[in-house]
Structure 1
Amino acid sequence: MTAYAIAHIRPETMNEDILTYIETIQSTMDPFGGRFLVHGKEAEVLEGPFPSTVVMIGFPDLETARAWYASDAYQAILPLRTDHIPGEVILVEGVPADYDATKTAAGLRAAAGL
Structure 2
Amino acid sequence: LFRSAGGSLAATGAVTLANAGTTFDISAGGAQAIGSLAGVAGSTVALGGSTLTLGGTVDSTFSGAISGNGGLVKNGAGVQTRNGVSPFSGGVTLNAGGLVVRNNAALGTGAVTVAGAATLDS
Q: TM-score, normalised by structure 2?
A: 0.24
Report which structure shows greater RCO (CA 8 Å, sep ≥6): 1
Q: Whose Rg is larger?
A: 1
Which protein is richer in helix relative to its size? 1
